[in-house]
Each structure stands twice: as structure tokens, then as C-alpha cells.
Amino acid sequence: MPHVLHRSAIATVCLSMLFGCAGVSTRAAGPQDMTFFVTSMGPGKGADLGGLAGADQHCQSLAQAAGAGNHTWHAYLSTQGSKLDDPNFVNARDRIGNGPWQNAKGAVIANNVEELHSPASKLSKETVLDEKGRPVNGRTEKPNMHDILTGSRPDGTAFPGAPFPDMTCGNWTKSGTEGSAMLGHFDRGGPIDAPWATSWNSSHPSRGCDPEGLRSTGGAGLLYCFAVK
């Protein structure tokens, strides 16, 4: 009888260790594991984000409040040169790290920069969550918030400078009716089934840079934020 009890005790310990180990390996993703989100709010001044530095700080602050401040965060934004041959521009794709990136629930949206800008990317209404893991209003909901500021072309590169139009609201410093910013549809939805209408990062320009102009087409000055490291 003692031998039976001894073997039973050993089995119980082994099972406890097995399930304990399994629990560690399959634990749910926590805030510290999040490496991608769309902001739950804009800074409040339309497309005036305080430039790239201000936009990055907005991402960092929201991530910190959500428990993901262990990463360095950058906003997915491009900037334009002052003129056509000005080399002083920034490509959004060059400032977001190497991936992979996952949302607050642990779903991977892309493994690397190339996949992110390809048909294989997993950005959708279901996977693009805010920093708290909450869904964001899409095109069919009220208020519509599916326009996300990017200032980028479909491959994540910058638009040329003058004489081409402003696509970054003065490199993210304008908050009035003058200028515009390229927007993406995070929910991949638009008025028609066309590549521009379903693009997550390059769908159409905004109506001005002021909060009302952004709202008028279905936006709230929101940003994509990526963990660089």
C-alpha cells in the first residue's frame, strides 16, 4: 500500500509539473507582448502631431499606460521633402523595425516589413486593435474612425515634395483647413471594391488637416504604432 501511495504522489507531482510547464508555454499574450496597435485617440490637434517626434511620443505614452512601455514605439508615418529633389524625407516603412508584430491579443499581423506591405499582411477589422486590445470603429459604425494618418504610398514610402501636393499636413505640423494627409483604411473597407479603397495605408487624402476635416471622411486623427524593439 505505501508503494502505491508513493507512486501516486510521484504521478501527481509529474502531472502538476507537466501542466505547469504547458501553462507557461501557452499563456495568453500580455500587454508586454504587444508590438502593434492603432491609437485609441489622436493628440487632439487634427494632423498636427508635433512632427514625427511628437507622434512617436504619443505612441510611447499610450503604450506605457497600457503596460507595453518596455518597447520603443514609432508611429507609422512618412514625411516629404520641401521640393522634388530634396533628400530630406522619411519612409514610414523604414522607421518601424523589422517585426514580427502582434496585437494586444497575440495575433500576428505581419512577420516583417515586406509581408506588411504585401497581400499576405493580416491587418483587418478583427486584428487592428487599440493599445487596450479594443476594436476600433470601422466604416459601418458610428462614429466612423477607419481613416488612419500615414502620409504614405502603398509600399510604405514617402510622396515626393513640391510641386506635388502636400500629403503629410506639413510633415505633421498643420491643424487647419490648408493641406492634406494620405490616409489608410484599417478595416480594409471603402465605397467600392478597388485597391485604393481597401488599402490599410494609402487610400485617399484628407479634407484638410483640422479635426473636423479629418472627421468628415471618417477619421479621428488616429495612428498606427509599431514597436521598433
105-123 pLDDT, tens digit per residue, is 999 999 999 999 999 999 9
Percent of the chain with pLDDT over 90: 79
**Tens digit of pLDDT for each residue in 47-67?**
999 999 999 999 999 999 999
* 7 vs 92, residue with greater confidence: 92
Domains of the chain with bracketed CATH: 31-227 (3.10.100.10)
Q: Which helix (H) or strand (E) holds 222?
A: strand 219-227
- Cβ–Cβ under 8 Å, residues 154 and 202: yes
What's the confidence (pLDDT) of residue 44? Answer: 86
Residue type, 40: S
pTM: 0.86
Q: Residue 208 gets which letter from DSSP?
A: -
